[in-house]
Structure 1
Amino acid sequence: MGELAIGRPGLLLVDDRPGSFTDYVISRTDVGVFLLRFEPWADALPKDYLDGTKHLPTFVVRADVPLEEEAARYRSWVVTQERPPGYFCNPHEPLQEVSQRFAGLVGLPHLDDLQVGWVRRKPQMKARFQELGIPCAQYREVATLEQIEAFGEEYGWPLIVKPVDSFASIDTYKLETPEELSQLPDLGRREWMVEEFLTGKEYQLCAVVAGGVVLDAWPSWTPAALLETVAGAMNANVTIAEPTELPVDVKRITQKLVDGMRIDHGYLHMEFFLSMDGSFHMSEIGARLAGCEIPTNHGLSHGFDIFSVTLDTYLGRSPELPYTQKRCVGDLLLPISAGRITRMTGLDELKRMPGVLGGKLRFAVGDLVDPRRASNASSGYVHVEGETVEETASRMENVLDEFEFEVEKAP
């Protein structure tokens, strides 16, 4: 049902927020794009974005109706369309459970419930790591402060406390001592877990998969761990031009995960730690695109169209990776704070700085902003290149030194 006689595939794309990949897919005239939105996420989409996508066939899943009924309503609706979609893609994290289940109900390629657990719920994820013989931090599901303290007594402090389905470091806390347990929110409102604190260096890792085969895997160096960026550390990711510089074979490890989790296609985003002695610990895995602008870094670093390659894998194709460059490229998230913006350095000024390839500012002077405590919160971003990770990071520091962002506190 995805390929018609004229050869144009149809794709059902989960659309919970604007993003670079979504913008790219929507721009492709050789793909029949259908948007799948879910309440209440659909209600929060910006008006200008809704206006810009109103030409696309869109199905909104209602929140107060059983999913099976909504799937039946979709099947009745989609047969009236000229080119019904035969492929499915969810590029983001929050709606994995409901969107993958919906795709299964309407007969599209999807992750089953067990796979969704492996790539979304962290206790199941880490249990699968252990089953596959991939090292990871010790962990435990918890429901009380006493259980967290008992874990700390067994594995030591500091430790990490987070919801089992968190992302972007939202509601994730590092506790140095038992006395800091009082800082945690009410545990009763979500499912929580605790894990040991790993020392060493945190890395991001992305890959694309087609037909169960990892086409390639791209590691990213991070100046600071994600949780540290929430506290104000430099928030950036730099694609490592030569993955062989790392003491682990990231492509081999990714293929082991793909085999063990039965991942057939698509984009994977992962995180791992390397200790000072070179030991490896897998942190997390997600079956979706990386956040921020990490995919774009990989494309700019190796000189190819990362979004085209990614889209092809969701359309059942096995694309080539036509690399034309080898350089380090990273995305630097620009600082943000709550209030009404009174001054902000312009993008044109930033683009004149050494190594800056381009970027985007999300706000303008006069806007009222109230950023969430998350590792992806920013006022914008710039892409920065360098011959080495060190040169790229140094140029990012220069950008931060020049970037001005001032606000007046709102009442």
Structure 2
Amino acid sequence: MPQLVFSGKQIPPLEPASLRLESVVWPPGQSPSDALPPNRLLWGDNLAIMSALLPQYEGKIRLIYADPPFFTNRRYRARVGRGEDSRKPETWRLAEGYADRWASLDDYLAFLYPRLVLMHRLLAPNGTFYLHLDWHAAPYARVLLDEIFGPKRLINEIVWVYHGPSPIKRAFNRKHDTILMYAKGDDYMFNVDAVRVPYNPNTVATFRSSPKAGFGKVPDLARGKVPEDWWYFPVVARLHRERTGYPTQKPEALLERIVLASSQEGDWVADFFCGAGTTAVVANRLGRRFLCADATQQAIQTSRLRLMRGQAAFAVEADQQLYRPPQPFPAEWTPAVEDGWVSLPQAALAQAEGWEVGYWTDGVFYSTAQAVRAPRATEPPPARLPWKEKNRTLAVRLTALDGAVWLWQG
């Protein structure tokens, strides 16, 4: 079997991250308990994160979706301003997103290869792996996955087609990504009926009008058809309702199809390049448990806020080397507490992407009520939240538009 040879191709010694519990989020209506929620959002280099997860999760994850850097040699910024003119990028308020810059293709592949190997180890024997790339690196990644999984484990090469403006003038516009779908074993899950789509109206009319259509076979038109291996979903553009401002955010519809096809309720779903948190949001909505990680604080805070909008229960953990305690509230942000309600002043709300009430114990924030700004909204989040934990000392956490975290303790 052909193998890809490049400088630095090796599996480095495993150095597990020392994970520190940073916060626990219990949505309204769920009482905090001593047991942590199963869902985990993890901040740190995913090679160290996955190494730390191996003792508990090796061979147990039903579905892994990976959306790594694409080898574009670009630096991506996150838009964190509100009410800005989309036609004037020079006026946008920006924060660090992530860097996709490499000294060489060898360096990129040396980064990707050991992570693919660890994801294969974490995948269940009947699990499915989806690797999302584009023309820059997909051909090389397919050779690597053939080595790791075996060439017969390739199930589909999926093409995600989309539209959008392009500055290209000397080639056809590049408007698709490639998603490589591999199974770890023969008994992988594929929920065919969960992903059926309606037939095209023209196809329905043809079948109904001609007895010879479909080579003499009449399909179940009401049941729908299995999608082809090219998918059209709109990108999360500047005015898209799901838009967070985090760069290269993927649409929920894309992940919904993947999660429905290759997992069932209660299964573990993982994404170790989680970015804006789309995989976690979809997995939670569909009743799956999730493990999601990213190396940047901006990604973790973006994912955390989206999960709070979806009323997920989850724990946030950080590599001890990266963890930084929240900053104390400025005096003008001091909350008011009255009759079981906590209110924030406008000075704080104007800076808030979201805020929470809860309690602070042993360096961990336990969130019991949350308020999050609507996506792309210029209006601040709601100003009041209930406080019911009368036997605990109140704490308030605020996540700013730029991802910074602030804490007030009563």
TM-score (norm 1): 0.28
The structure that is helix-richer by fraction is: 1
Question: Rg: which structure is higher?
Answer: 2
TM-score (norm 2): 0.28
Q: Which has the higher contact order (CA 8 A, sep 6+)?
A: 2
